[in-house]
Structure 1
């Protein structure tokens, strides 16, 4: 039997966008040189727009409904996300772990466990988007959930979950969001509640998803709480980076 990879688990309460992004980067730095993965579930204290790493700040004008939302820039790529009625996760897979060597398949692996979990929670209609990336003549949509790539989780024609990565030599960081319901800051995007007439809380999805992640990704979860050094680093990253207008606008801090 293949030994499972130990994986630190954090289940955090809703927080501000700059804190959420800073914690993910602090954990990436902390775990990058270990043989242990890290999985974190979290939510958002208020509707927040996150830009993908390569998007321009001015692009946010393309989405008037979220103009009043706080804005942050993610370390991972992909399209912008209005974080509100959703469950967000981050996965850190250091270079020496089996998951890091499967980084191209990580999206699909995680999303398949989500589809299985949703079916058990009474939402059996979710599936992987199996076509080629949709090409839009006018360019990629601003919002992640208006884009379609192979491996996205869809319910009918609507995307309900997607993931993006940041790849470093020493580790992979994967971000993902599950759209549980419609946000007033992104009214064009229905969530599971509207599509499947099923209301699922962050806690319910977390508790049902964890055993399937553990089994299919061959992980052994153990509880982890931010160490003082990780908290200090996250606080510093908020100050110099994620709460910095310079970083948010230009990816420099």
Structure 2
């Protein structure tokens, strides 16, 4: 079993959320600390993938009025609004830290098992027989598809499915950060995307989902959670990253 700090944070601004995730990755790399964190957003916020062009956001009119940050991880843009957001940092000593596809699959299958308790029919995209191949790479993460994404069948159209979970990773000195979002409902800043409530008519909340999912993750990844306050130096590191990096136009508009 790996001791793992469990954090459930209140809503914060986007720059702070991204700064904490990077600080936790550094801690995993430097101190071997594992952390599972659930968090929320103070206001609807668009997060750009590390490699995305800032100018590309002009292609998505609906999100123009939202705040914007840039993530440390790659992938498409995420519209953080009606969702559960998580981050998982594992040190190099954890077996899953070295297996990128396996970590995606383990985290996502843990969620699938939880959703099944509410009779919600979800699956990995690679296992979904309604999946359609596409060579396009849309601006938004939830409009893209990869094999480890979680899709949910719609009650209104059982032959079709929509992506409800997307995750991305970043590695540093052997440690790994995986963070992502579970789409609970449609946002007015991305109305083309449908969440669990829209697809299945099941009004899930973050509070409803977090506890069973953390338990499923503990079993899947052999984690033993400890409820521990963030250390002072971790908080200082996050404040520095927020101030010097994630609140900076130079970082947000770097591409």
Task: Give your verdict on TM over 0.5.
Answer: yes
Measured in 2, the distance between the counterparts of 1:47 and 1:86 equals 10
User: How big is the shift at 1:103?
Assistant: 2.5
- 1:126 is aligned to 2:114: no
Residue in 1 aligned with 2:134?
135
Question: CA RMSD of the aligned region, Å?
Answer: 1.5
Residue aligning to 1:189: 193
Deviation at 1:123, TM superposition (A): 4.0
Structure 1 distance, partners of 2:132, 2:84, is 24
1:206 aligns with 2:206: no
Distance 2:192 2:65 in 1: 16
CA 1:37–1:170: 2 relative to 1, 3 Å: same
Taking the aligned partners of 2:98 and 2:170, their CA distance within structure 1 comes to 14
Query: Which TM-score applies when normalising by structure 1?
Result: 0.93
CA contact (8 A) 2:105 2:148 kept: yes
Q: Distance in 2 between matches of 1:164 and 1:14?
A: 21
Report deviation, 1:226: 1.8
CA displacement at 1:102 relative to structure 2: 2.4
| Structure 1 pair 155–85 and aligned structure 2 pair: CA distance change class (3 A) | same
Aligned with 2:53 (options 33, 49, 56):
56
Instruction: Give the drift of 1:104.
Output: 2.4
- Any gaps of 5 or more consecutive residues in structure 1? none
Q: Secondary structure at the match of 1:130?
A: helix
Work out the CA distance in 1 between the residues paired with 2:144 and 2:13: 25
1:85 and 1:48 map into 2 onto residues whose CA distance is: 11
**2:226 counterpart SS class:** strand
The structural deviation recorded for 1:210 is 1.3
Q: Choose which of 217, 220, 224 in structure 2 pairs with 1:216.
A: 220
Shift of 1:224: 2.4
- Which residue matches 2:157? none
Cα deviations across residues 191-211 of structure 1 (Å, max 9, x unaligned)?
A: 000001001111110011111
Question: What is the distance in 1 between the residues matched to 2:90 and 2:138?
Answer: 29
- Secondary structure in structure 2 of the residue aligned to 1:100: helix
Is 1:225 aligned with 2:229? yes
Conserved 8 A contact 1:48-1:70: yes
Match of 1:163 among 154, 164, 167: 167
Question: In 1, are the aligned partners of 2:120 and 2:200 still within 8 Å (CA)?
Answer: no
Corresponding residue of 1:42: 39
For 2:18 and 2:111, how far apart are their aligned partners in 1? 23
